[in-house]
Structure 1
Amino acid sequence: MFARYEWMIAWRYLRARRSEGGISVMTWISLVGIALAVFALIATLAVRSGFRYEFVDTIVGANPHVSVLSYGETLLNGDLTRTVRDYDTLAERLSQVPDVTSAMPVVEGQVLASAQGRNAGVQVTGIRPDDLRRVPRVANPEESQGSLDDFDGGIAIGAGVARELGVGAGDTLRLISPDGQVTPMGRSPRTKAYRVGYVFKVGRYDIDGVRVYMPFDEAQTYFNREGVADEIQLTVTDPEAVDAMAPALMAAAGDGTYLWTWKDSAGAFLQALTMEDNIMFVILSILVLIATLNITSGLVMLVKNKGRDIGILRTMGMTEGTILRIFFICGASIGVIGTAIGVVLGCAFAIWIDPVFNFVNYLAGGGVWDESVRYISQLPARLELGDVLSAVGLSLALSFVVTIFPARRAARMNPVEALRYE
């Protein structure tokens, strides 16, 4: 498509000094601008993908993918109970559904935890030891103390709870529930001390700061749930496909039950992330457009400075198409080289984001990342091929488009007018 001499002339124009009518300074400005814009776009897309991946991974790694709950039934005394009877039978039926990896009956309740003169509200989940080992983020946490083997004789707590109460593995804390024994004077709070057998750090502030696991049988006694469970928690092979599995799960669960998926509980966060992704891509796309417009200004200056050369080339027999291709090569080359540099910088940033973040944190004196606000414990980045290709495609497309207009202007220049005053 491009002749060898076209490349030669375009390259000579690009590296020409300003005294020779070149645009070397504008070339460097355009090159640096595009490189920085592409770098910013790839880095932002990588962090965006990392946020979503880490956010979803901590949700599906520490929470059930699907919860099967009961609509409830009215007891003889008029109270409404939403507990699940025959929970083992129901869990067995649900585990037979294709792509269901586990079905775990649990008991849940909110209580006050107290230790070392400190208090914290916690969410207690009663679960069997074997089932707890199937919770990925708990069985393989970021950090841990103690061992899951000690869970049978105690409880497992999140790192945030341990930090708030000042306890660790082997210490004792007290759980206080307002829903205790029924006495002639009414219900009395139930208080019981438990040994901390295991401390885990999932990496999400809202989980580590409230989550407490208790053996299932003990939780039934503590929360007055003898013979029943509060819900059946399911994990599936592909958490993103839980909506498609809903009919099969409902058929297995039977009447009087409903499903609550991880997408239902985290729907607001996911929608906020999606909206933020779209807005950030649009804003950074404008940044890339502004950077590529430097190519246009540089080429306009080059065409003006090279008017005499264009007239001579046209009188030598070169066509308008040849002149257009020469100046298109000039602008497109800047876009391609700048994009390549930006891709390298953006990929390097995503790959070595931890050292970069640690350096920035050191310069700022620490405290740059507040996990109580961001919910996750560190700045994530995930480099995906689709994000890199979208950034490259956007940059190259804009570079090529903005190059066409000054290139056409050069091609349509009248050689007589270009040489009249020479």
Structure 2
Amino acid sequence: MSSPAPFSRYEFLIAWRYLRARRAEGGVSVMTWISLIGIALGVMALIATLAVRAGFRAEFVDTILGANAHTSVYMAPDRFENELTGEVYVTPGRIADYDAMAQKLADIDGVTRTAPVIRGQVMATANDASNVAEVYGIRLDDLKAIPRIVDPETSSGEIEDFGSGIAIGSGIARDLNLRLGDKLRLIAPQGAKTAFGTTPRVNAYTVTYVFSAGRYDIDQTRIYMPLTEAQSYFNREDVVDEIEVFVSDPEKVDDWTLPLLQAAGDRAQIWSWRDSSGSFLAALDMEDDVMFVILSVLVLIASMNITSGLIMLVKNKGRDIGILRTMGLTEGAVLRVFFLCGAFTGIIGTIAGVILGVLLALNVDSIMALINSLTGGNAWQPEVRGIYRLPADLRAWDVFRAVALSLTLSFVVTIFPARRAARMNPVEALRYE
């Protein structure tokens, strides 16, 4: 007669009976409940944290790519030396044949579009208030191709009226108390050239469009102006400062660096979105790894309580172990019974943790909004975090990692007390019964 296969039905029945038994009968102990709850909370925290971190990174990158160029091509500064004095003068590099260069860059495989741009710093004033702003001189068609700027749900005004005024961020509009149709005065330090030198240029423009890019720093400082007007305002007649380039795969924008440099010429230089935000994204990735390790330790601590609970269960079930051994159960069968007791605790705790973690991740935005309202807006400050909300991106890989970690730790810590039960001498167990 062959022996039953490992993990037979009767082993599951015995393990489940032990877990369901009352405390007075030597069943589930307080430590087992503590370990189950601890595992559930640990898995919940791990899943929710990974989802929030992934959502924060996705939102941060989306606000960058949705309102900025993937990469920009500009020229190196020009250097001139005065032959009489020997002094060296440096002037910013400009792009003269910008339409031809923009078309040349657009012909590169993988480049979706290009846009000549002028950039300048100004002081914006209105209604006895002022703010420092960065002006982007751009054409209407190029502005309409920026998704975060032309989003009708977050903007006001008609984008088609851009040619007769300027577009400003919602932060500037709020700080300067501006509405559509109001006048905004811009002051450029390097303005009109006169016989007495260069004087600041002061022009007033009508606000025809107000946008919200989803980034606090952009909404607080950015102004869009028609390209021809910006050329006149910043003394850039027939030239532009840079050409913005958009590619098919922004995450691999570095693959286009060499082709763009070759097409733009010897004095060309490249500045991509990874150059401006790469260090911050690297810090986020490192923080993700650190948070995973820290929360993994919490799950491990909760799993270690399974060991304590099983040791107590083995001690209380010594008589039962002796009887089972005399009835013919092998050491392996006893080991598997108590292994299943611990495994059930880990599995139930993990399932509960997954459910709670998914619910928390799906509702984290609403929960954060409630906490923010209760704390008067101090829980989430856009001027510090950069974005206006705390999103969550629940990914199957993150859930799988949390489940795999929890189950692995739960199964490993169960082996020691299960082996102790299997090696118990049935004679010693029944001596005093």
- Whether the TM-score (by the shorter chain) exceeds 0.5 is yes
Q: Which residue of 1 aligns with 2:85?
A: none
1-structure distance, mates of 2:52, 2:295: 14
Q: Is the 8 A contact 1:112 1:119 kept in 2?
A: yes
Deviation of 1:73 after TM superposition, in Å, equals 2.7
Q: Which residue of 1 aligns with 2:40?
A: 35
Q: Which residue of 2 aligns with 1:398?
A: 409
2-structure distance, mates of 1:113, 1:294: 62
Listed one character per residue, the Cα deviations across residues 215-245 of structure 1 (whole Å, up to 9, x for unaligned) are 0110010000011110010111111011122
Paired residue for 2:319, among 299, 308, 313?
308
Q: Which residue of 1 aligns with 2:76?
A: 71
Q: Which residue of 2 aligns with 1:420?
A: 431
Q: Is the 8 A contact 2:29 2:309 kept in 1?
A: no
Listed one character per residue, the Cα deviations across residues 173-209 of structure 1 (whole Å, up to 9, x for unaligned) are 0000010112222210000000011111111111111
Q: Which residue of 2 aligns with 1:120?
A: 131
- The TM-score, its normalising length taken from structure 1, stands at 0.97
Deviation of 1:144 after TM superposition, in Å, equals 1.3
SS in 1 for 2:149: helix
Deviation of 1:75 after TM superposition, in Å, equals 6.0
Is 1:94 matched up with 2:99?
A: no
Paired residue for 2:249, among 215, 234, 238?
238
What residue identity is the alignment partner of 2:73?
V
Is 1:18 matched up with 2:13?
A: no
SS in 1 for 2:244: strand
Q: Is the 8 A contact 1:159 1:208 kept in 2?
A: yes
What residue identity is the alignment partner of 1:70?
M
Paired residue for 1:359, among 337, 347, 370?
370
What residue identity is the alignment partner of 2:313?
L
Comparing 201-210 with 245-254, greater Cα deviation is found at 245-254
Q: Is the 8 A contact 2:29 2:312 kept in 1?
A: no
Deviation of 1:79 after TM superposition, in Å, equals 4.7
SS in 2 for 1:209: helix
2-structure distance, mates of 1:362, 1:73: 53
Is 1:59 matched up with 2:70?
A: no
What residue identity is the alignment partner of 1:411?
A
Listed one character per residue, the Cα deviations across residues 301-345 of structure 1 (whole Å, up to 9, x for unaligned) are 101111111111111111111011101111111111111111111
Paired residue for 1:181, among 186, 192, 215?
192
- State the identity %: 60
2-structure distance, mates of 1:19, 1:81: 84
Deviation of 1:411 after TM superposition, in Å, equals 0.9
Q: Which residue of 1 aligns with 2:280?
A: 269
Q: Is the 8 A contact 1:15 1:24 kept in 2?
A: no
SS in 2 for 1:179: strand
Listed one character per residue, the Cα deviations across residues 27-69 of structure 1 (whole Å, up to 9, x for unaligned) are 3222211111100110100100011000111011111100011
Q: Which residue of 1 aligns with 2:218?
A: 207
Deviation of 1:14 after TM superposition, in Å, equals 0.3
Deviation of 1:24 after TM superposition, in Å, equals 4.3
2-structure distance, mates of 1:414, 1:245: 72
Q: Is the 8 A contact 1:144 1:201 kept in 2?
A: yes
Comparing 25-34 with 281-290, greater Cα deviation is found at 25-34
Number of matched residues? 422
- The TM-score, its normalising length taken from structure 2, stands at 0.95
Q: Which residue of 2 aligns with 1:48?
A: 53
What residue identity is the alignment partner of 2:14?
I
Paired residue for 2:11, among 3, 6, 24?
6
Provide structure 2 residue ranges, at least 5 long, that are not aligned to the other structure.
1-5, 83-88
